[in-house]
């Protein structure tokens, strides 16, 4: 008998109506659930229908059944991952089998009497991205349930999950131990993206819903909708980036590159063509998204992977404009901790920074654009927290500990008390710090990657002028093109390489394509307009490479002067020391340079042959090891002997303990995001450099691996604030 008193009609809409009627009736929760499984079984012509719900212990308990033994209800329990029901919970998607008893994950429960049933279809009950239970139908006949049946059961499960989680069932004694949402304290270990500590309430960063309607009846109208949304999107991004204080160098470059994507003619044209082919504007966005994934999804270069994420975020933002769900600044509670799988570079600008205290991400990397912008805005951020989104609910108390790279979900009172004490100490230190700014590094290749054709001299000059004006008198170091390898341009004939990180890229390409490099240098000189100009060549692996590149600079300066154009007021030309080969040829390189910068991120990955963007390799080597520190000491000593200014950039420079080691090695110029300035300055002010030098040099003679523990002990012994 159906819940409504008549015969159930096939189809999800009628079935959902019957289920709602059953749940709305009077009586105990158990009776309602029994009526629901009976209604589903009749509608789907199933001999068995069962509902399993997850207890706070994590066990799945049989809560209601039609077809199995009634005495098994509230008796049959499965451990997490146990049986076919546990497997469905684990994978988080439907499990459709024609012969369930012969499946390796099948767990026999004699009290249920399910031996005769072979066909098996189970779907998870999903609530906020988490599985709170499983809905199952079974039949004696061996068969695979059809796609329509699977979709119907998924729709039913979605509605049922909402009912179980809502006031329709909550508050009843029968369900008091069902885990609708995580409630126990948890600690997750991740990776530090931006320094700091924060405590507050979880706010979930919601993604736009995928489009339901794909085909359009009026292409002209859809094209108008698209143009209006794109124009609004471009205006919104332009407005968000105006007057962003503190965003210079890498952080400003990230956001300005994002703006270039939004105005890119190729992206806009792809959307327009998709709409004209008969798709809705929303479906056009998804089609262009798929093309980007196909083009960039397999890239191994971390910068290219970030380009793909920027485009994903841009597409999501356009979908919001098409749906009308657009907010210039999203509302937040006080002391908000933003929870997301990942974030785009402009996402953080949509939140009130006075209320946004911390960020927790399930994915990402320290080099991701979310990490770069978080560091620029001085917002603590921890990422690579596996399973984060499924373990936290809106409003949960949350701790962001970016000192230990941990997240505490629903922390115990003692954890909160200890954290607040640490936050108070940090606040006192921060109040003592003078506001310092570091030299900005501008990666020039992004303009080339977002364009559909080679940027001409005028376009390059205009961009470089904008960067210099935004820096407002602060020095900006322009790194010349780092293209090639995985950074393939559609308008250049380039072949994919087996090992792109070590292939034809950066200065190697520039020297082989001198017109390309000289045009960029000419644009930089023209943009300087009598101001200070710093040009740095990346991935220099030999002295001859730098000699040839510097000769191009001299030729372009002479070309400008010959035509009566102003030369830079001061011109410094430097090299990035990232290739280990230079360690044994510094005596020839340094006299040719005005400055050098040690790129510790790449130098370390090349020294240890370990991709720093690969999470599996992130902990395989430590820059605080004798091998790495000896290499750095070699560079410092050579620069000191020749009087060459040297700076250190990368993650090492912005972390107090690693910076302590660098200071002990003799480095006195460290380049870091604004968020790292205060802690590193405090370390420097508390450090006896001579004592540090003597002790660290002794540690370099060790024959083991990492000496991080020894350096940390030394810092405490010398009362250094790390």
Mean pLDDT across 37-64: 89
Interatomic CA distance for residues 707 and 147, integer angstroms: 58
- What pLDDT is stored for residue 689 in this prediction? 81
DSSP string, 201-219: EEEE-PPPPPPS--B-S-H
Interatomic CA distance for residues 292 and 299, integer angstroms: 11
Mean pLDDT across 370-374: 77
Region of residue 27 (phi > 0: left; psi between -120 and 50: alpha; otherwise: beta): left
Q: Determine the angle formed by the axes of helices 249-262 and 457-471, rounding to 10 degrees.
A: 140
Residue 379: name the closest of 539, 509, 195, 511 by CA. 195
Residue written as tokens 């329709």? 168
Other Cβ atoms closer than 10 A to 458: 10
Q: What would the pLDDT profile of 142-161 be if each residue is shown by its tens digit?
A: 999 998 888 888 888 887 87
In the predicted structure, residue 24 carries a pLDDT above the cut 90: no
Mean pLDDT across 386-402: 85
In the predicted structure, residue 436 carries a pLDDT above the cut 60: no
In the predicted structure, residue 261 carries a pLDDT above the cut 60: yes
- What pLDDT is stored for residue 314 in this prediction? 80
- What's the token pair of residue 192? 């530090």
Residue written as tokens 């249920």? 112
Interatomic CA distance for residues 321 and 317, integer angstroms: 7
Residue 489 near residue 449 (C-beta atoms within 8 A): yes
Region of residue 643 (phi > 0: left; psi between -120 and 50: alpha; otherwise: beta): left
Calculated CA dihedral for residues 165, 393, 129, 311, nearest 10 degrees? 140
Q: Show Cβ contacts of residue 224 under 8 Å, excluding neighbours closer than 6 positions.
A: none
Calculated CA dihedral for residues 179, 87, 390, 123, nearest 10 degrees? -80
Mean pLDDT across 473-488: 70
Residue 406 near residue 419 (C-beta atoms within 8 A): no
Best mean pLDDT range from 180-184, 637-641, 713-717: 637-641
- What's the token pair of residue 299? 């890239």
Residue written as tokens 């909402």? 162
Q: Determine the angle formed by the axes of helices 543-562 and 514-528, rounding to 10 degrees.
A: 50
Q: What would the pLDDT profile of 495-542 be if each residue is shown by its tens digit?
A: 666 666 676 777 888 888 888 889 889 999 998 888 889 999 988 999
Mean pLDDT across 299-323: 72
484: confidence class by pLDDT, cuts 50, 70, 90:
low
382: confidence class by pLDDT, cuts 50, 70, 90:
very high
Interatomic CA distance for residues 583 and 577, integer angstroms: 8
Mean pLDDT across 653-666: 90
- What are the start-end ranges of the H helices in 503-542? 507-512, 514-528
- What pLDDT is stored for residue 198 in this prediction? 93
- What's the token pair of residue 430? 């921060």
- What's the token pair of residue 641? 């002997």
Mean pLDDT across 706-718: 87
- What pLDDT is stored for residue 434 in this prediction? 41
The region of weakest confidence among 116-120, 212-216, 339-343 is 212-216
- What pLDDT is stored for residue 579 in this prediction? 92
In the predicted structure, residue 170 carries a pLDDT above the cut 50: no
pLDDT: which is higher, 34 or 10: 34
Angle, alpha carbons 272-277-279 (nearest 5°):
80
468: confidence class by pLDDT, cuts 50, 70, 90:
confident
- Three-state DSSP at 572 gives strand
- What pLDDT is stored for residue 670 in this prediction? 86
In the predicted structure, residue 486 carries a pLDDT above the cut 60: no
Interatomic CA distance for residues 191 and 107, integer angstroms: 38
- What pLDDT is stored for residue 466 in this prediction? 82
Interatomic CA distance for residues 674 and 676, integer angstroms: 5
Taking the CA of residue 184 as centre, how many other CA atoms within 13 Å lie in the half-sphere pointing to its CB? 9
Residue 657 near residue 712 (C-beta atoms within 8 A): yes
Residue 16: name the closest of 205, 142, 152 by CA. 152
Interatomic CA distance for residues 631 and 284, integer angstroms: 52
DSSP string, 80-149: TT-HHHHHHHHHTS-EEES-GGGSTT----GGG--TT--EEEEEEEEETTEEEEEEEEEESS--PPPHHH
* CA 704 remoteness from chain centre: 34
Mean pLDDT across 617-639: 88
Residue 432 near residue 497 (C-beta atoms within 8 A): no
CA distances from 302 to 353, 501, 605, 642, 679 (A): 28, 10, 13, 35, 28
In the predicted structure, residue 334 carries a pLDDT above the cut 80: yes
In the predicted structure, residue 245 carries a pLDDT above the cut 50: no
435: confidence class by pLDDT, cuts 50, 70, 90:
very low
**What's the first-to-final CA gap in the chain, in angstroms?**
71
Interatomic CA distance for residues 317 and 323, integer angstroms: 10
- Using the 8-state DSSP alphabet, how is residue 237 labeled? H
- Three-state DSSP at 601 gives helix
pLDDT: which is higher, 687 or 550: 550
Mean pLDDT across 593-612: 88
In the predicted structure, residue 367 carries a pLDDT above the cut 50: yes
Region of residue 243 (phi > 0: left; psi between -120 and 50: alpha; otherwise: beta): left
Residue 82 near residue 102 (C-beta atoms within 8 A): no
- What are the start-end ranges of the H helices in 575-673? 586-589, 600-608, 626-642, 656-665
The secondary structure of 379-426, three-state, reads: CCEEECCCCHHHHCCCCCEEEEECCCCEEEECCCHHHHHHHHHHHHHH
Q: Show Cβ contacts of residue 318 under 8 Å, excluding neighbours closer than 6 positions.
A: 229, 230, 233, 285
Q: What would the pLDDT profile of 199-241 be if each residue is shown by its tens digit?
A: 999 988 866 555 656 777 888 899 999 999 999 888 877 776 6
DSSP string, 265-325: HHHHHHHHHHHHTTB-HHHHHHHHHHHHHHHHTT--SHHHHHHHHHHHHHHHHHHHHHHT-
Average pLDDT of the chain to the nearest whole number: 80
- What's the token pair of residue 453? 């054709």
Residue 570: name the closest of 590, 536, 594, 591 by CA. 594
Q: Show Cβ contacts of residue 629 under 8 Å, excluding neighbours closer than 6 positions.
A: 623, 661, 665, 696, 700, 707
**Domains (ranges, CATH) in the chain?**
12-175 (3.30.450.40), 186-207+329-425 (3.50.30.10), 219-323 (1.10.274.10), 439-577 (3.20.20.60), 599-722 (3.20.20.60)
Q: What would the pLDDT profile of 62-92 be if each residue is shown by its tens digit?
A: 999 999 999 999 999 998 889 999 999 888 8
Residue 446: name the closest of 520, 497, 394 by CA. 520
Sheet holding 440-443, edge to edge: 440-443, 476-479, 532-537, 570-577, 595-599, 646-649
Mean pLDDT across 436-448: 55
In the predicted structure, residue 102 carries a pLDDT above the cut 70: yes
Interatomic CA distance for residues 596 and 538, integer angstroms: 10
- What's the token pair of residue 617? 């390799």
- What pLDDT is stored for residue 622 in this prediction? 86
Q: Determine the angle formed by the axes of helices 265-276 and 219-241, rounding to 10 degrees.
A: 160
In the predicted structure, residue 47 carries a pLDDT above the cut 60: yes
Interatomic CA distance for residues 254 and 247, integer angstroms: 9
In the predicted structure, residue 443 carries a pLDDT above the cut 70: no
């Amino acid at each position: 008998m159906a819940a409504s008193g008549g015969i159930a009609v096939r189809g999800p809409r009628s079935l959902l109506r019957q289920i709602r009627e059953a749940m709305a009736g009077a009586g105990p929760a158990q009776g309602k659930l029994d009526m629901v499984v009976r209604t589903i079984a009749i509608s789907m012509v199933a001999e068995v229908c069962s509902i399993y719900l997850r207890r706070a212990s994590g066990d799945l308990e049989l809560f209601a059944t039609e077809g199995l033994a009634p005495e098994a209800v509230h008796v049959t329990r499965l451990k997490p991952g146990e049986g076919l029901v546990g497997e469905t919970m684990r994978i988080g998607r439907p499990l459709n089998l024609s012969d369930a008893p012969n499946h390796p994950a099948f767990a026999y429960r004699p009290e249920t009497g399910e031996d005769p049933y072979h066909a098996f279809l189970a779907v998870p009950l999903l609530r906020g991205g988490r599985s709170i239970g499983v809905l199952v139908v079974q039949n004696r006949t061996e068969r695979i349930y059809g796609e329509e049946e699977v979709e119907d059961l998924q729709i039913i499960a979605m509605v049922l999950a909402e009912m179980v989680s809502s006031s329709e069932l909550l508050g009843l004694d029968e369900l008091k131990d069902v885990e609708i949402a995580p409630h126990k304290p948890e600690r997750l270990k991740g990776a530090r993206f931006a320094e700091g500590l924060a405590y507050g309430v979880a706010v979930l960063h919601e993604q736009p819903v995928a489009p339901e309607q794909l085909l359009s009846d009026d292409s002209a109208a859809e094209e108008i909708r698209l143009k209006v949304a794109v124009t609004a999107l471009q205006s919104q991004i332009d407005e968000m980036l105006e007057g962003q204080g503190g965003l210079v160098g890498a952080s400003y470059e990230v956001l300005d590159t994002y703006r270039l994507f939004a105005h890119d003619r190729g992206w806009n044209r792809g959307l327009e063509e998709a709409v004209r082919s008969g798709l809705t504007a929303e479906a056009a966005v998804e089609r262009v998204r798929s093309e980007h994934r196909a083009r960039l999804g397999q890239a191994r270069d971390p910068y290219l992977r970030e380009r793909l994420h920027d485009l994903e975020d841009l597409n999501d933002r356009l979908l919001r404009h098409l749906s009308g769900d657009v907010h210039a600044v999203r509302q937040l509670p006080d002391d908000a901790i933003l929870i997301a799988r990942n974030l785009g570079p402009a996402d953080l600008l949509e939140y009130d920074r006075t209320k946004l205290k911390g960020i927790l991400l399930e994915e990402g990397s320290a080099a991701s654009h979310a990490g770069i912008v978080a560091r620029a805005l001085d917002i603590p951020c921890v990422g690579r927290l596996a399973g984060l989104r499924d373990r936290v609910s809106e409003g949960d108390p949350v701790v962001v500990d970016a000192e230990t790279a941990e997240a505490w979900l629903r922390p115990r009172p003692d954890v909160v008390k200890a954290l607040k004490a640490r936050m108070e100490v940090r606040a006192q230190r921060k109040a003592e710090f003078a506001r310092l700014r570091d030299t900005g590094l501008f990666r020039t290749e992004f303009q080339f990657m977002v364009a559909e054709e080679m940027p001409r001299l005028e376009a390059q000059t205009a961009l470089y002028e904008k960067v210099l004006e935004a820096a407002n008198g602060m020095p900006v170091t322009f790194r010349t093109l780092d293209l090639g390898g995985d950074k393939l341009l559609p308008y250049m004939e380039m072949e994919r390489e087996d090992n792109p990180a070590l292939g034809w890229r950066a200065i190697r390409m520039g020297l082989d394509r001198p017109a390309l490099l000289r045009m960029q240098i000419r644009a930089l000189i023209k943009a300087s307009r009598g101001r200070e100009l710093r040009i740095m060549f990346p991935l220099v692996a030999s002295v001859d490479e730098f000699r040839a590149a510097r000769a191009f600079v001299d030729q372009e300066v002479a070309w400008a002067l010959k035509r009566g154009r102003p030369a830079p007021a001061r011109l410094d030309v430097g090299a990035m020391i990232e290739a280990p080969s230079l360690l044994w040829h510094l005596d020839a390189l340094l006299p040719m340079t005005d400055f050098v910068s040690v790129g510790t991120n790449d130098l370390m990955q090349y020294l240890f042959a370990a991709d720093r963007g690969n999470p599996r390799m992130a902990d395989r080597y430590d820059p605080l090891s004798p091998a790495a520190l000896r290499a750095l000491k070699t560079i410092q000593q050579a620069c000191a002997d020749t009087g060459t200014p040297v700076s250190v950039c990368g993650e090492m420079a912005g972390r107090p303990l690693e910076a302590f080691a660098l200071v002990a090695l003799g480095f006195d110029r460290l380049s870091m995001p604004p968020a790292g300035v205060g802690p590193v300055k405090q370390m420097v002010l508390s450090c006896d450099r001579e004592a540090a030098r003597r002790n660290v040099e002794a540690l370099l003679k060790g024959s083991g691996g990492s000496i991080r523990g020894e350096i940390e002990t030394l810092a405490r012994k010398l009362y250094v604030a790390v």
